[in-house]
Structure 1
Amino acid sequence: MAEASIQVQICHALPDSAFLRTLNVPVGTTVEQAVELSGLLQAVPGIDLAVNMVGIYGKKKALDTVLREHDRVEVYRPLLADPKEARRRRAGSKPAKA
């Protein structure tokens, strides 16, 4: 009897392109295992799963999260600027209201 499998997607957005791969993986596969199976780490050598955050449909998840049918695993890029600090800079550069 064949091992049960599920279909998942692995994606990673780059400034000028995107990586998107659909995989059939065994039931019980984790986020980390699926990313490794997808070939993303070879296609984009700068990704370090110890540093880059991962999520499923926009919600942060741990690497040991077990995947379900049709999950879309997203590997996020590091932030270039702290969003709070960027907002402070924008707010500080505006003239004060009279």
Structure 2
Amino acid sequence: MGADMRLAVEVAFALPDRQRIVALEVPVGTTARQAVALAGLDRLFPEVPAATFAEADLGIFGKLLRDPDDHRLRAGDRVEVYRPLEIDPKAARARRAERAGR
């Protein structure tokens, strides 16, 4: 493959009230983390601290990446940026159970 080869990929991020999927063409060899930086999510979601996008867990089609800084993308990949949990899942279940028991 030549150095001018490019891949079509997507980067997805969602808040509870809206989501964006950014289509990109990136050079072969681009990592998942680099694609997130190229997507400009910090400009699309100014209310989210920019560090969130630089440090977030990333996945591809629902599968968490172990090392997004080294994971090289393939054509058609959709990189998903995962938000930190706002509440512990166990606490959320307990809260729902408490409300249901009233």
**TM-score, scaled relative to structure 1:** 0.80
| Offset, 1:94 | 6.3
Residues 5-84 of structure 1 mapped to structure 2, 5 A cutoff: 5-45=6-46, 46=48, 47=50, 48=52, 49-50=54-55, 52-61=56-65, 62-64=67-69, 65-84=71-90
Question: CA distance change for structure 1 residues 94 and 13 in 2, over 3 Å: closer, same or farther?
Answer: closer
Cα distance between partner residues in 2 of 1:94 and 1:19: 34
Q: Unmatched 5+ residue regions in structure 1?
A: none
Q: What is the count of residue pairs matched by the alignment?
A: 94
- Residue 63 of structure 1 aligns to which amino acid in structure 2? P
Cα distance between partner residues in 1 of 2:82 and 2:57: 5
**TM-score, scaled relative to structure 2:** 0.77
The structure in which a higher percent of residues are helix is 2
Q: CA contact under 8 A between 2:3 and 2:28: conserved in structure 1? A: no
Q: CA RMSD in A?
A: 2.0
Q: CA contact under 8 A between 1:11 and 1:20: conserved in structure 2? A: yes
Query: Identical aligned pairs, as a percentage?
Result: 47
Q: Unmatched 5+ residue regions in structure 2?
A: none
Per-residue Cα deviation, 1:19-64 (whole angstroms, up to 9, x for no partner)? 11111101100011111111112222424222x2211111111322
